[in-house]
Structure 1
């Protein structure tokens, strides 16, 4: 008898035992779901009980029929030299080989209905069953209790003991949504502009244009001589194409055409189409007409002047991601996939993208500040990432904007961010970038910023303190993947003792907000709502920039890659710029001017020095070769295109 058949019969027996969920659960042997208690659900964080009437929507995730086989196949089709290299599956083929069966779905759905839940959607790959009910019913059905916890300044719901399901439901892998771990997701973007944000002047159109020596401050404030260069106003168009050595190849037609790049964020901007067109005209990029579409659920859109419908500034995140991809792959097709919220559905949206094969490359500029998530929450996402690789889809994730997550505090526990730490995605770290007047890369160093504020009484900079930087470090969850063996130094891979572990990031590109990208979107200013531009950064810039460049390489290669890391690690050296500390002696940092009110000089100015690669208070450091701030490095023009596109050829 098959496992699915045994499950169905077992659940049928459960349904006959009693009229209430509690009776049925207590009368039937239960299996414990490992990793189902959030690490933050502790007595120290508890603030009170969850009201039994609280509405909960959750997904019961089902495991693959052959999880080891799915992972092995995904690895093989992405790795040069394998007999299966490049033999990617269609979504239909993947479902036929690995997806949970319809009988398993029916068994779980039947049990949920019996327990009093309303059963919702089931995706085509049958990866989960969605359900809605109350916290009280969930506590009875899953054999636990729920409480409220204060975590990272937020009050979130969590189960206090492991979840249980009937023994017959052997296909259940995890339950996502009963606890609110997903509310801890954040957009990896540090320069999140408020309504009507502008970058203050003076700023430089290219590196070194305006300095303390040749440009007066707007209010007559005297500044120290070093650092001397006012921060760039924001790089755009040919500046970024030229800095990464791709301007000529893009102009010659290697511009991502024929490749679809997806961007996943939460919510959706109602002005994104017009903003993309305006931005493209301003910076010498082609129109996106006929090459852009949005895939969003009804009600996902938010009004640009009502931030309550745009938690965390996700409209700006969407704008940044799409404009960055379009800059580096102006011929690629763009698809934006917006989750209807940033607290429950990002995992389901990724599953939708992968199972529908909505894109060849997907850039994701969100994450969690560390790996302290329930193992049961991580496992279903790993499954989706494995399906992506098996289908030839390459996933890129920003590595995070808070360094090693210690904040430079001695004794704090370092950690990379999730999902960047997954071995099935490409984690993109950040750099600080100087671009010349002729659109050449002058320097590129690791992005770890220390800030000094001006003391107006002495006109000197204060003591620098760590502010933000490229996420990275050594995972505590995942063993070292094959593509990192022989590349990552043991001093990094075995930093916690024991066997070698996965390290982050894999690669890097511009991320420093102080040398960031110029983006444009419709904003609400004090004198009206209209399009304007501002400089922005974060590894949420690094990821879409790199995804765009990878689209160029995919076009040249003429085939998809699946998991991109084997090709990217193979391209190190001749095709990748190794980021080191060498340029710091000449380019130690920059001077930044900010409006106090964020919009104009009417409220005055703030002055600060921003020092590059200031990682002295962190556990991650830039060094020759692979490092845990910039990975193997950043793309180096035509040599990088040749190396990546030639992989597997």
Structure 2
């Protein structure tokens, strides 16, 4: 019932060990665990503080995201209060206001304790531990009804700084001419709501998918929807390598398939060209990408299972990954930037594509770490895309450096 953005069964700490028995040795990391309980550390995952250091988020203050607000779309899933509490205790997080918005025709929240909402919350809070509130916006499983979740966010009092969507379907099966009319209508309504949220100052992020250059796992090229919408930021995947001080040693396109099978959590960051949307204005000038269609992804962040992320589910700690993690990671991180802007008396960021593409066109290398190695080939019969200097269809513009982005925003504001 879960959408196809996620790889099928993500393993825990033993996934890499199982794979390495039959494949080449998995990459090793020398990063140092920081600021989390031993149960989470035992999964073999990264601690959130490690990656905040590498991505420049801790430079924003003692509790990045203080006063920030994030909304998370839940499709047919819910979140367990006990797991929220366990995660907060483990990582020493402050109190958090949460609310759940029901969708049309829904009388009670969806069943609680499923992995996707727990991972979304873990990443958003992990990158922005000072968040003041998180809104869970629920939607029915049918993709044509997913737009109802952001509608509820738009209608509810207290708009968030960022909206995260970690679900997806093959774009052609939702938006192409041969797709059901109801699916195409639902996608158009999603775009309409995303435009309105953007005008109200909300940044929207969606997973680019875990199936590389395929159409979200189908045996042909394509991209995942709603990540392919031009009215949000599509988030691809990387594999981050740290040193003992948790500084970035390297970062490459996420593709764990040489070491992990898809059943053990292996996958590759989604990327390619939309079959439907024309190239948006913010992507004009991408001379390295042929054609006139919307290119995916826009940005990327750590999605690998080597290592993955610690998530509490039904009181047990597991390791998970995928662009289902990288999308809420960036949602939380950009919410932290928006909260910082608001504290300085400035407007929230709103849609961030205009900002990051403008910085890239201006040759500003500090705010973005360019991914220049790796590819996102997922199936042998579907050619993959290879990372290269500048924009590419495997990693987009690269990974934000949030300390440098904050400095760029200060410079633009004259402060």
Shorter-normalised TM range: 0.7 to 0.9
Residue 389 of structure 1: which of 198, 207, 229 is its match?
A: 198
SS at match of 1:514: coil
2:309 to 493, 500, 517: 517
Instruction: Give the corresponding residue for 2:321.
Output: 537
Separation of aligned partners in 1, 2:311 and 2:5: 16
| Structure 2 CA distance for partners of 1:341 and 1:202, relative to 1, 3 Å | closer
**Which residue matches 2:295?**
503
The SS at the match of 1:444 is strand
Give the Cα separation in 2 of the matches to 1:541 and 1:453: 18
Which of the two has higher C-alpha Rg?
1
Contact 1:186-1:366 at 8 Å conserved across structures: yes
Which residue of 1 is the match for residue 110 of structure 2? 301
TM superposition shift of 1:503: 0.4
- Offset at 1:543? 0.4
1:579 match: 371
Return the alpha-carbon distance in structure 2 between the equivalents of residues 563 and 577 of structure 1: 20
Render the CA deviation track for 1:541-563: whole Å, top value 9, x for unaligned. 00011111101211222221222
SS of equivalent residue, structure 2 residue 111: coil
Q: Tell me the residue number matched to 1:526.
A: none
CA distance in 2, matches of 1:580, 1:475: 22
Rounded Cα–Cα distance in structure 1 between residues aligned with 2:270 and 2:23: 31
Change beyond 3 A, Cα 1:484–1:229: same
The correspondence for 1:471, drawn from 263, 270, 282, is 270
Q: Give the 3-state SS of the residue equivalent to 2:395 in structure 1.
A: coil
Runs of 5+ unmatched residues, structure 2:
31-42
Report the 3-state secondary structure (helix = DSSP H, G, I; strand = E; otherwise coil) of the residue aligned with 1:502: strand
Q: CA deviation at 1:448?
A: 2.4
- Contact persistence 1:511–1:537 (CA under 8 A): yes
1:630 — aligned with what? Answer: 395
- Structure 1 residue 275 corresponds to structure 2 residue 74: no
In 2, the alpha carbon distance for the partners of 1:225 and 1:538 equals 21
CA–CA distance in structure 1, aligned partners of residues 139 and 7 of structure 2: 22
Aligned residue for 2:391, secondary structure, equals coil
Which of 135, 145, 150 aligns to 1:345? It is 145
**2:15 touches 2:260 (CA, 8 Å); kept in 1?**
no
Tell me the TM-score normalized by structure 1. 0.53
Pick closer, same or farther for the CA change 1:434–1:452 going to 2, 3 Å.
Answer: closer
Partner of 2:45: 234
Identify if the C-alpha distance between structure 1 residues 451 and 287 changes in structure 2 by more than 3 Å, giving closer, same or farther.
same
| CA shift for structure 1 position 249 | 2.7
Q: How does 1:231-380 map to 2 (within 5 A)?
A: 233-251=44-62, 253=63, 255-269=64-78, 271=80, 273-283=81-91, 285-289=92-96, 291-296=97-102, 297-302=106-111, 304=113, 315-339=114-138, 341-343=140-142, 345-356=145-156, 358-373=159-174, 374=179, 375-380=184-189
The structure showing larger relative contact order (alpha-carbon pairs under 8 Å, at least 6 residues apart) is 2
CA distance in 1, matches of 2:247, 2:167: 30
Gaps of 5+ in 1: 1-182, 204-216, 305-314, 455-465, 495-499, 523-530, 585-611
C-alpha displacement of 1:626: 0.3
Label 1:540 to 1:644 Cα distance change in 2 as closer, same or farther (>3 A). farther
Post-superposition Cα deviations, 1:68-99, rounded to whole Å, max 9, x if no partner, equal xxxxxxxxxxxxxxxxxxxxxxxxxxxxxxxx
Q: CA deviation at 1:191?
A: 6.0
CA contact (8 A) 2:6 2:210 kept: yes
Say if 1:199 and 1:298 are closer, same or farther in 2 by CA, change over 3 A: farther
The alpha-carbon distance between structure 1 residues 380 and 264, as it changes in their structure 2 partners (threshold 3 A), is same
Structure-2 change in CA distance of 1:578 and 1:533 (3 Å): same
Query: How many Å separate the matches in 1 of 2:348 and 2:248?
Result: 29
Cα 1:422–1:200, aligned 2, differ >3 Å: closer, same or farther? Answer: same
Aligned to 1:424: 231
CA distance in 1, matches of 2:352, 2:164: 12
3-state SS in 2 of match to 1:468: coil
Contact kept in structure 2, 1:191 and 1:538, CA below 8 Å: no
Residue 25 (structure 1) aligns with: none
Give the total of aligned pairs.
375
- TM, length-normalised to structure 2: 0.80
In structure 2, the CA distance between the partners of 1:340 and 1:389, relative to structure 1 (3 Å rule), is closer
In structure 1, distance between residues paired with 2:254 and 2:260? 19
Task: Quickly say closer, same or farther: Cα 1:538–1:647, change in 2 above 3 A.
Answer: farther
Shift of 1:646: 4.9
Partner of 1:200: 14
Q: Say whether the 8 Å CA contact 2:235–2:297 is kept in structure 1.
A: yes
The separation in 1 between residues aligned to 2:260 and 2:320, in whole angstroms, is 20
Q: CA RMSD in A?
A: 3.1
* Contact 1:431 1:446 (8 Å CA) reproduced: yes
1:445 matched to 2:252? The reply is yes
